[in-house]
Amino acid sequence: MTLLRHLAGGMGVAVGLTLMAGSALAQDCTTKIGTVLPTSVDWGRPIAETAQFAVDQVNAAGGAGGCKIEMVLRDTQVDPKVGVDAAKALVDLEGVKVLLGAVSSGVSMPILTSVTVPGGVMQMSCCSSSTAFTNLAEEGKTEGLWFRTFATTAVQSAMGAKIAQDKGYGSVAILYKNDDWGQDMARLIAADFEAVGVAVTASVAINDGQPSYRAEVTEALGTQPDALYLALYPAEGTAAVREWISLGGTQKMILANSLKSDEFRENVGLQYLGETVGTDTASPRSESADAFRAAYVERFESEPNGPGLGNSYDATMIALLAMEAAGKDASGADIAAAVRKVTDPNGTAITADTAGFTTAKEVLAGGGTVMYQGATGNVRFDANGDVSAPAVIWSFTESGTEEVEYLSLDEVDSFIASLN
Amino acid sequence: MIGTISYLVFFATTASILAIAVLGLNLQWGNTGLFNGGVVAFFGAGAYGTLILGGTPQDGHLGGYGLFYPLALLGGMAAAGVMAWIVGLLTLRLRHDYLAIATFGVAVAFENLMRNAEWLAGGAKGVRGFERPLRDALGDGFLYNIAFFITVLIILITVYLFLERLVASPFGRLLRAIREDEEAASSLGKSPSRIRLTAFITGSVILGLAGGLYGTFYAFVSPQDVLPTLTFQIWAMLIVGGAGNNRGAIFGAFLIWGAWTASGWALSRFAPVEAQLYTGSMQFVLIGVVIVGMLMWRPQGLLPERLVVSQRGSKE
């Protein structure tokens, strides 16, 4: 399955190359953008493929800032040293003004503090979730160069609490991935459950790569919760849920968006996921999101179901739109400042595809602003470079996932406000 | 052009920091024969110690003492030293492979402690908010990196000269005696366990120094920096460079780190686009091949240990 997807991705890249070759005739200059992603990790590669996909679409529209865009991709190996070195090489040797990445907060953070901020390069991450970035931005240390399209964990956890409240669960046990994202999630969701009057019976950390999670699962099971909340990734999520079900745990589960994956559904088995619902930020409510979905399916022959794909696409698109808005040879700070112009709620709405980018070019050339409607909805950054987002509650089906309930940005924000 | 120089300075800084760590391991393994499988724990103790002592106050965890930088760095080294002392007392009676397993366990425990003890060092989020020393005076750009590189280079040379003298001294001879035959050394009235502990702590303090500089350079440290990968990388540097030879240790650090980064760069630049997404995996294969090849054809390393006859019998 994964292999097929990769093969399809490889073919997609080849198709994209042909497209690029076509448009290269129109321009004689090339602007490089840097991408640092964990491509040596199974879920990292589709994120990189999606970024390249966005670049290809922009090149089909004639590139950004008057030049064809070349994405230089480097692997982080999820090793901070390697990621930082790759980022530095991209900034110094390739001269990039825009850096996309990384995924892990533990890699994105040292890149931010030691490469992009000192170098005046805009950094936009698809997937880093740590609350530490918000704190850093509040202290003014990101200098407005940092953005991420991954909605803060607050949206996810609030939606998890809403599900528990709506379904009338009295108590919930939490299993969370033992990393920065998981620890943030566990802390936030516990507070949100409490706010809606749901008792948290246990909160158990799940470490990566253990052969068995019996001890952890038994600990959670022993507290006899009505439901189980899972902030895990597919690999250890599958292992933990299998043990949970086989030990007689309830099928009433609430999942974070990281488990919205075909791999998880297939490996656990749909028959055990009947009462399971998940949350996700970003809902395809605009034409552009449908366009993204359709284009993605056409290109990769699968639904964009992996973690971070829509976010990666939006990060790339917004960065390129900002490059277009900032004009040729703009500095990283100029491009970062131009992000506002392309995510303006009062601007002209544009779709997330080649046609949308072409429209954006015309509007921006005329001195206007645009509102980018992307794969994760209307992306809008706050002063810290964070996004809030509409949310969707979903469940698994035979072929993927289906939407159970949609909450607009305003509904999400008011629900979050009601928790405090 | 300036970009290339700027990158090379950055690269050389990282490589020099790693070289200091390899020198620390060389004292332990190359000279004393102590198989430290937990390099990263002592490296991490130095990094965490320095950033906690020298950083700005942070909500929710220890730290923010804002100590004068050299003191913070010394504190980081001391943290590594104290940890080495405790670990050494407990494990140094163990022989080679058992010591390796025990110290490896210490490193895993260290990483897990840092990941879970949020009150101590921010948990998985790591320690941030560290102000790099003299940043106000030197700015944030190229000049700073040059100055930092020169500082690291001076420290590297100092550590090298210190170790060269140490190894050439009677104490160094004693280390080798213990490495080669502990019983023979004790039959001469020496106390191997004491000497082993001294060497272990000294090496670990040097590892802590490297960790402290590493944390300073990135102004950030998180549990992701102290994964076992780093232990293997530093070991690979020592094995390729030549265990027992300080110059080999430094050479190995530059060579392996150079190969590591250059292969990533070369693959991203020259590999066909279809293969771009697989460069990460290919890089692991390339590095693995280099290390295996090295172990098969030149196990003593590129710069092997020089055998020294410190006192000739005829002169007695």
Contact (CB<8Å) A114/B219: yes
Nearest to A201 by CA among A159, A245, A249, A155: A249
- A403 to chain B nearest CA, in Å? 32
Q: pTM score, two decimals?
A: 0.82
Angle at the Cα of A277 (from A275 to A279), degrees rounded to 5? 170
CB proximity B136 to A under 8 Å: no
- Tell me the sheet residues that pair with A199: A171
CA A78, CA A47: separation in Å to the nearest integer?
14
The helix (run of H) or strand (run of E) holding residue A200 is strand A199-206
Dihedrals phi, psi of A174, to nearest 5 degrees: -120, 130
CA A97, CA A296: separation in Å to the nearest integer?
27
Q: Is the pLDDT of residue B23 over 90?
A: yes
CA B168, CA A56: separation in Å to the nearest integer?
61
- A364 to chain B nearest CA, in Å? 31
- Tell me the sheet residues that pair with A403: A394
CA B48 to chain centre: 14
- A217 to chain B nearest CA, in Å? 18
Contact (CB<8Å) A79/B220: no
Q: Is the pLDDT of residue A246 over 60?
A: yes
- The pLDDT confidence band at residue B310, using thresholds 50, 70 and 90, is low
What per-residue confidence (pLDDT) applies to A390? Answer: 79
**pLDDT digits over A92-105, tens only?**
999 999 999 888 88
Q: Is the pLDDT of residue A305 over 90?
A: no
Tokens of residue A295, six digits: 């284009």
| A311 shares a domain with A413 | no
Q: Is the pLDDT of residue A23 over 60?
A: no
CB proximity B227 to A under 8 Å: yes
- Tell me the sheet residues that pair with A125: A148
| A413 shares a domain with A308 | no
**Mean pLDDT, to the nearest integer, of A288-313?**
81
Contact (CB<8Å) B128/A109: yes
Nearest to A44 by CA among A99, A6, A4: A6
- The pLDDT confidence band at residue A13, using thresholds 50, 70 and 90, is very low
The helix (run of H) or strand (run of E) holding residue A14 is helix A2-24
| A324 shares a domain with A182 | no
Of B123, B217, B265, the CB nearest to A114: B217
**pLDDT digits over B173-232, tens only?**
999 998 888 888 889 888 888 899 999 999 999 999 999 999 999 989 999 899 988 998
| Segment 255-274 of chain B within 8 Å of chain A by CB | 260-261, 264-265, 268-269, 273-274
How many CB atoms are closer than 10 A to CB A122?
A: 30
Contact (CB<8Å) B277/A13: yes
Complex prediction ipTM: 0.88
Contact (CB<8Å) A84/B218: yes
- B63 to chain A nearest CA, in Å? 15
What per-residue confidence (pLDDT) applies to A300? Answer: 86
CA B58, CA B120: separation in Å to the nearest integer?
11
Task: Give the pairing of strands A227-231 and A380-381.
Answer: unpaired
Q: Is the pLDDT of residue B316 over 80?
A: no
**pLDDT digits over A181-211, tens only?**
888 889 889 999 999 999 999 999 999 888 8
On chain A, the residues whose CB falls within 8 A of the CB of B286 are none
Interface test with B, best of A33, A85, A97, A138 (most B CBs within 10 A): A85
Of A41, A88, A105, the CB nearest to B10: A88
Q: Is the pLDDT of residue A46 over 80?
A: yes
> What is the torsion angle, in degrees rounded to the nearest 10, for the CA atoms of residue A400, residue A404, residue A408 and residue A414?
-130
SS3 A199: strand
Interface test with A, best of B1, B5, B10, B287 (most A CBs within 10 A): B10
What per-residue confidence (pLDDT) applies to A11? Answer: 43
Instruction: Give me the residue label for tokens 């009462």.
Output: A275
**Mean pLDDT, to the nearest integer, of A26-40?**
83
What per-residue confidence (pLDDT) applies to A19? Answer: 45
Contact (CB<8Å) A39/B141: no
Q: Are A299 and A111 in contact (CB under 8 A)?
A: no
What per-residue confidence (pLDDT) applies to B221? Answer: 92
Interface test with A, best of B7, B39, B125, B232 (most A CBs within 10 A): B125
Q: Are B7 and A114 in contact (CB under 8 A)?
A: no
What per-residue confidence (pLDDT) applies to B274? Answer: 64
Query: Per the domain annotation, does B232 fall within a domain?
Result: no
| A394 shares a domain with A250 | yes
| Segment 11-40 of chain B within 8 Å of chain A by CB | 11, 14
Helices (H), A150-261: 153-167, 180-195, 214-221, 234-246
Which amino acid is residue A361, in one-letter code?
Answer: K
- The long-range contacts involving B192-198, CB below 8 angstroms and separated by at least 24 positions, are B193/B92, B193/B93, B195/B32, B195/B171, B196/B32, B196/B34, B196/B88, B196/B92, B197/B85, B197/B88, B197/B89, B197/B92
- Tell me the sheet residues that pair with B108: none
Q: How many angstroms separate the Cα of A393 from the Cα of each of A45, A163, A260, A310, B241?
A: 26, 8, 11, 16, 56
**pLDDT digits over B269-302, tens only?**
887 766 766 766 777 787 788 878 888 888 888 8
What per-residue confidence (pLDDT) applies to B21? Answer: 97
How many CB atoms are closer than 10 A to CB A30?
A: 13
Tokens of residue A147, six digits: 């953005």
What per-residue confidence (pLDDT) applies to B63? Answer: 76
**pLDDT digits over B91-139, tens only?**
877 777 888 899 999 999 999 999 888 888 888 888 887 888 887 788 7
CA-based radius of gyration for chain B: 20
On chain B, the residues whose CB falls within 8 A of the CB of A89 are 7, 261, 264-265
Q: Is the peptide bond before B100 cis (omega within 30 degrees of 0)?
A: no
What per-residue confidence (pLDDT) applies to A285? Answer: 60
On chain B, the residues whose CB falls within 8 A of the CB of A39 are 276-280
| A184 shares a domain with A75 | no
| A160 shares a domain with A116 | no
The CATH number of residue A257's host domain is 3.40.50.2300
On chain A, the residues whose CB falls within 8 A of the CB of B115 are 178-179
Of A77, A95, A117, the CB nearest to B3: A95
| A407 shares a domain with A310 | no
Q: How many angstroms separate the Cα of B192 from the Cα of each of B78, B187, B195, B198, B269?
A: 23, 10, 5, 10, 52
| A147 shares a domain with A265 | no
CB proximity B232 to A under 8 Å: no
| A368 shares a domain with A254 | no
How many CB atoms are closer than 10 A to CB A103?
A: 30
What per-residue confidence (pLDDT) applies to A4? Answer: 42
On chain A, the residues whose CB falls within 8 A of the CB of B129 are 135-136, 139, 141
Closest residue in B to A88 (Cα) is B7
Instruction: Please count the structural domains in chain A.
Output: 2
CA A304, CA A50: separation in Å to the nearest integer?
9
- Tell me the sheet residues that pair with A395: A277, A402
Interface test with A, best of B111, B113, B224, B282 (most A CBs within 10 A): B224
Closest residue in B to A76 (Cα) is B280
- The pLDDT confidence band at residue A135, using thresholds 50, 70 and 90, is confident
| A309 shares a domain with A270 | no
| A394 shares a domain with A379 | no
Closest residue in A to B114 (Cα) is A179
Domain with A76, as residue range(s), is: 2-151+285-383
Q: State the average pLDDT for chain B.
A: 88
- The pLDDT confidence band at residue A17, using thresholds 50, 70 and 90, is very low
Closest residue in A to B18 (Cα) is A81
Instruction: Give me the residue label for tokens 């006859």.
Output: B309
Dihedrals phi, psi of A282, to nearest 5 degrees: 70, 105
Contact (CB<8Å) B277/A119: no
Interface test with A, best of B119, B217, B268, B270 (most A CBs within 10 A): B268
**pLDDT digits over A76-130, tens only?**
888 899 999 999 999 999 999 999 988 888 899 999 999 999 889 999 999 888 8
CA B73, CA B76: separation in Å to the nearest integer?
5
Contact (CB<8Å) B280/A75: yes
Of B224, B264, B274, the CB nearest to A86: B264
- The pLDDT confidence band at residue A171, using thresholds 50, 70 and 90, is very high
On chain B, the residues whose CB falls within 8 A of the CB of A139 are 129
Tokens of residue A13, six digits: 């890249």
- A40 to chain B nearest CA, in Å? 5
Got the DSSP string for A231-281? E--HHHHHHHHHHHHHTT--S-EEE-GGG--HHHHHHH-GGG-TT-EEEEE
Contact (CB<8Å) A118/B141: yes
Closest residue in B to A207 (Cα) is B112
| A304 shares a domain with A415 | no
Least confident residue range of A7-16, A260-269, A279-288, B83-92: A7-16
Contact (CB<8Å) A110/B229: no
Of B3, B118, B224, the CB nearest to A92: B3
Q: State the average pLDDT for chain A.
A: 85
Q: Are B10 and A85 in contact (CB under 8 A)?
A: yes
Instruction: Please count the structural domains in chain B.
Output: 1
B290-302 core/surface letters (b: 16 or more CB in 10 A; e: else): bbeebeeeeeebb
CA A19, CA A31: separation in Å to the nearest integer?
17
Query: Per the domain annotation, does B268 fall within a domain?
Result: no
Domain with B177, as residue range(s), is: 2-227
Q: Are B201 and B175 in contact (CB under 8 A)?
A: no
**pLDDT digits over B24-81, tens only?**
999 999 999 999 999 999 999 999 999 999 888 777 777 778 888 999 999 999 999 9
- B281 to chain A nearest CA, in Å? 5
